[in-house]
A and B are shown apart, each in its own frame.
Chain A
């Protein structure tokens, strides 16, 4: 199938304005005749649902949590980028665009990224108008901080809880529409399938998580804002409930899945402490503004530290290796996430890691405290330091923090065109659920930007283009297609419940996570990936034979919820491996050992791999088919990224 990205003609900076003019509009009086389903209520979903409601559409919004306010966007700490240039340090829309394309290692679409940079400024205005309490200077104007991968200060923040404040802003806008009757909110509801009629997405099947009732919901368009699939690694910074189910079921109904192997490993997470670990906790990247990353120069010193014979504070300066500052003098500790993560892995592989496990590096604030005073550091990172102490029992004001990379974000997702529509007409994907803006690596403080850009300022325009061509008739949920889809969903649930095997859902999830982390984690090679594929296939077969799901469908059943999700993660894992195997180059978060420079940096191969991989589902048991969307760069010159 030929992929049409629908990128408008014309100069880069005019594409979006022209497109906005060219898309079809729905008359205000007619908007109320259209129903839109939004699945997920994170930044993208909540902002989209609220904006649709404001425009006059009838919206049904769904989330699996008990309240839309709990979506995992809430956990984003550091901030949100915008090309406001409030700091007068040379920022501009083009610079944000350029940084994002470069940061993404030239695997994103120029037009999408430029649009993102354009609307970034509107997002800040919108959020401030909603009452989001961003940090301010004494003069009353907005404050900024700098973030990895950029040399300007363009990140707006609200303490270490920016995601929370932005989400609460979007949630409040959503709540207003719920009160106005324009949005009907369905909490504790899991989406389990997309319903198709005549090749178009016309609704979804959900499971009420309290009663277990399988329900049909009809609409003129379906928007998936269901986040990323980092939980395929079992251990990640994602919420426990984050899952790929909605996106995956859409994929199986015809939506192509793009760049699944592009996962971001975040460099500053709290290291794993034992087998019981259920999730990893991120420490905001903003910590790298003041913290200095180091490990001992000598393996022997590292060993002593690991055994507890030597305190890190007692190791003299000349025996410490501030490896990021040494290798990347111009960016130092603020190199992009993939670079910082890979370097941490390398020094640990060399045996210079710290913590009992040897899988950690130091992030040291001693110099910053000496320079700015403890109060200043507390003001900037107080809550993060508290959180660290809570989890590890160590005081980071006195002893350096320990960090290790962890899976954090997935750049891949459902393939979408410029309108954010998937390959299924009427089915859209926004936020982390789509693939479009971050290429092979996402810069810090860009996820919040993209989620809100898609929800507030992109999809409210582009969805009209599709709806304007749709008839007003509502498809009855009594229609054959709904009945069939409901039946399939029920059958799958009863199959799961009736296996009554010997292993728990978590057993399978953990096993999958280990395979993915080992072979498809921070560095990958063809041999390992082939091995992983076999192991996942086996694990998947085993799952459908030997999983034990307790209880029944007609009740609140968290085992069943998990089983449903893990079943899909298993299938996705296989596709990720396929994709990683196909892409025999290193780019961004995807590091293929076969493709590196002499210095061990990632080596892109632009001639062969300058494309988006869009995978097409062909049927159960069939190999997926790769479709390629070639990436064309007219405004940036492709260079090997250098942060030296």
Chain B
């Protein structure tokens, strides 16, 4: 299997892992967003809590979630590996840089943007995912069945201004991360074609703006409701 390890440890292999995991995470984001919309139902969180239980108990979803964790880890670890390797490729930098004239800001700052998203992710997981799985969450009863009231936890968090501001800023970071990452993943996978690349780029722009914006809108709305 040396050919296999050679392949994925090559600069191209590492990039492809970034692209594949990135695309998987892009799909995950969409699914996550659809779930989050449940928060907006005016039903004191019933729809959301039912959804949350489904997501943590359904065997297929559970299996998929392990894949998702792996994906996150690979995407992050490989990003660090690549950054270290890339840094080694130019230990002495330039005194003057005019990079703004030849490349987009987001493409040059994927590491920083990714770090912002990562910090967000850690807090996010701590607040909700960890609480949901192992924390002491209050429960509610719907039709005689007990549900963890994740909605209450979320609602409380989104009532805090600092958290909402942090959330919105992080989504800004995600927006720029996706803005480059979406089309970049296709290029890395070798999909560059005069017919399809403009479409990919268009979808990428729409996606990278719409999805983070929709994510950010939810805590904003919930925050506004609390006032």
Q: Determine whether A and B are in direct contact in the complex, meaning some CB atoms lie less than 8 angstroms apart.
A: no
Residues of A within 8 A of B (CB): none
